[in-house]
Amino acid sequence: MEQQQGDKSECELAGEPAREILFERHASDGVSWAEITLNRPDKGNALTLPMLARLGEIADELRGDRQTRAVVLRAEGRFFCTGGDIDAWSRLSPHDMGRDWILRGIDVFERIASLPQPVIAAISGHALGGGLELAMAADLRIAVKQAKLGNPEVTLGMIPGWMGTRRLAEMIGPARARHLVLLGAPIGAAQAADWGLVTALAEDAADLEVQLAGWLDRLLANGPSAMALIKGLLATMHADLRAHHASAVAQAAASEDCREGVRAFAEKRTPVYRNR
């Protein structure tokens, strides 16, 4: 997949969170995708409140961006993310912890999870605690074989705070979720793939880039409104979805993209989607 590097976000010069959360857009064959990079490698990319706030701002910006078709979440350094910065949350009172740390983090991760664009977590290093919770907010996860994933919070007398326990149970089942959160011991990427916690394995960083490029090619060629509707359906998987499915199918059928897709199929050509 050929790409051109887009302009860096204007906030990259705006202060510490902008340096620790990098945001770029890239163009490929006339459509664009976004890249969010955790850039605090000296601290294992541990998350602070300003970093969470910046992630939330980016998610809000992407939500209304009809030109951006996919989002990649990745990190610099040896770790994908080691979770919440212990120095940041350990000084908070229980009340402030719940209000200022947990609820804000849950809100930010939900804004990422509910983006209309597919989100890929490119896990090039260990994803632990809140770092794994962040990766689970993505739709697709690819990890290098050397990565470890887990929720070690119980080893600190803490619990996964950003909806990690529930997301784990939804993704890999309650029994395996108990294994991770009660033992507090991480598992290797191969075991995580076997359990369904990650959806693909990469041999190394170079292979991760190759597979990631292939995924982006596929996503950028798909109907964006259809993918957004599918994400909405999956988000309500525990509800009675009969009416929701009917409404979603009707919305898809009424879209210009759907009509273009049908025409292209009949004309045996590649569809050109306009996200309308």
Residue owning tokens 């939900």: 110
Considering the candidates 35, 133, 170, 203, report the single residue annotated as catalytic: 133
Whether 35 is catalytic is no
Instruction: With both helix axes pointing from N to C terminus, report the angle between 174-183 and 164-172 in degrees, rounded to the nearest 10.
Output: 140
d(CA 94, CA 117): 35
Range list of H helices, the chain: 16-20, 49-63, 86-89, 94-96, 103-113, 130-136, 164-172, 174-183, 189-195, 205-221, 224-235, 242-253, 256-267
SS3 assignment for 66-108: CCEEEEEEEECCCEEECCECHHHHCCCCHHHHHHHHHHHHHHH
- Residue count of the chain: 276
The three-point CA angle 188-189-194 to 5° equals 100
Whether 133 is catalytic is yes
Q: At 148, which helix (H) or strand (E)?
A: strand 148-150
The answer to whether 43 touches 78, Cβ cutoff 8 Å, is no
Instruction: With both helix axes pointing from N to C terminus, report the angle between 103-113 and 49-63 in degrees, rounded to the nearest 10.
Output: 30
Considering the candidates 76, 153, 170, 267, report the single residue annotated as catalytic: 153
Phi, psi (5° rounding) for residue 137?
A: -75, -15
Residue owning tokens 């910065």: 85
SS3 assignment for 20-48: HEEEEEEEECCEEEEEEEECCHHHCCCEC
Active site members: 133, 153
